[in-house]
Amino acid sequence: MTDASSSAITPQMPRTDQKTFLGMSMIRFYQILSVVVVFIAWEIAGLVPISIAFPTFTGTMRALFEMLFDGRLFYAYVETLKPLGIGVLISASFGITIGVAMGLNRTAQWFWEPIFVVLQASPVAALIPLITYAYGIGLTAKTVAVIMLASPIIVLNTYKAVRHANPSLIDMCRSFQGTRFQEIWLVIIPNAAPVMFAGLRLGVAAGFIGVILAELLITPTGVGDLISYHRSVADYEYMYAAVFTVVLFSAILVGFLETIEVKYFRPEKKKGQ
């Protein structure tokens, strides 16, 4: 079987992004176009105006840059990122460990699944007063709010991904003398990585919701305070600027996670890009 002729003629996978426009790929062009269209629609809606509480895009950007340069935004984010960072780190490390254990072991599943299903199904905003009752109004309470929102998504996604690992790959590992540890580390976890990372991205986004909720409902600090303060004094441009940064920050964070995933866990995806 030394000739490759039968197989070598197989054409390369077609690449979808080969057309270019103004030196960028068509996909990138459409991405930018959609953002521009949204901003123009926003500007028009603000000029009409559809509501006196709805500022224009340019006004919002002016307010955004003002807050950026006078440092208000910076201090607000430092305040917000503390509970978010701690909460996400705890949710990710414990969440992935618990999720993997649940996927591999029925007893772990029996113990943890009800807790996280209840947490995921419950309206956490309604539970935030309870958090205040138990943990006061400090950093701990906000961190707990982040964990309550982020961890169920991370745990349940990890658990499902591990439980539904490709049985044929597991058989393959066993038939070639793989140990149980190799089976988990070299096959099950990499196989589950795409869904685990999807859970992680959703979990980080949910954690962001948690910290903003806590700042709106528990103590007016950080970005939540920027939003609620400017709303209360009817400075809608500043309020929307703060909301805009939250969306932007969340999108950047999620994009960053995706980069990490592709770089370290999905080499086959990296090559296709």
One-letter amino acid of 254 = V
Residue of 81, 86, 108, 169 interacting with other proteins (CB under 8 A) = 169
Say whether residue 88 binds other proteins (CB under 8 A).
no
Say whether residue 1 binds other proteins (CB under 8 A).
yes
Interaction pattern, residues 236-265, with other proteins; x per rule: CB under 8 A: -----------------------------x
Residue of 18, 106, 267, 273 interacting with other proteins (CB under 8 A) = 267
Residue of 182, 228, 244, 253 interacting with other proteins (CB under 8 A) = 182
Q: Where are the alpha helices (DSSP H) in the chain?
A: 5-8, 26-47, 57-69, 72-104, 106-121, 124-135, 139-163, 167-175, 180-182, 189-217, 222-232, 236-264, 267-272
| Omega prior to 49 cis, within 30 of 0 | yes
Residue of 44, 53, 172, 260 interacting with other proteins (CB under 8 A) = 172
One-letter amino acid of 240 = Y
Say whether residue 18 binds other proteins (CB under 8 A).
no
CB atoms within 10 A of CB 218: 20
Instruction: Considering the complex, state which of residue 162 and residue 212 has its C-beta at the smaller distance from other proteins.
Output: 162
Say whether residue 181 binds other proteins (CB under 8 A).
no
Least separation in angstroms between CB 259 and other proteins: 16
Phi/psi of residue 234, nearest 5 degrees: 60, 30
Span interacting with other proteins, options 40-48, 178-186, 202-210, 227-235, rule CB under 8 A: 178-186
Residue of 99, 108, 171, 263 interacting with other proteins (CB under 8 A) = 171
Instruction: Considering the complex, state which of residue 193 and residue 216 has its C-beta at the smaller distance from other proteins.
Output: 193
Span interacting with other proteins, options 10-18, 43-51, 104-112, 215-223, rule CB under 8 A: 10-18
- Give strand pairing partners of 25: 20
Residue of 76, 84, 149, 173 interacting with other proteins (CB under 8 A) = 173
Instruction: Considering the complex, state which of residue 137 and residue 172 has its C-beta at the smaller distance from other proteins.
Output: 172
Residue among 26, 40, 70 at smallest CA distance from 238: 70
Say whether residue 3 binds other proteins (CB under 8 A).
yes
Per the rule left: phi > 0, alpha: psi between -120 and 50, beta: everything else, 235 is: beta
Span interacting with other proteins, options 15-23, 81-89, 174-182, 242-250, rule CB under 8 A: 174-182
Per the rule left: phi > 0, alpha: psi between -120 and 50, beta: everything else, 71 is: left
Residue 270 corresponds to which tokens in the numbers above?
């990296």
Sign of the torsion formed by the C-alpha atoms of 238, 58, 74 and 28: positive
CA dist., res. 80 & res. 253, Å (int): 14
Task: Give residues in contact with other proteins (CB under 8 A).
Answer: 1-4, 6-8, 10, 12-13, 166, 168-169, 171-179, 182, 186-187, 190-191, 193, 265-268, 271
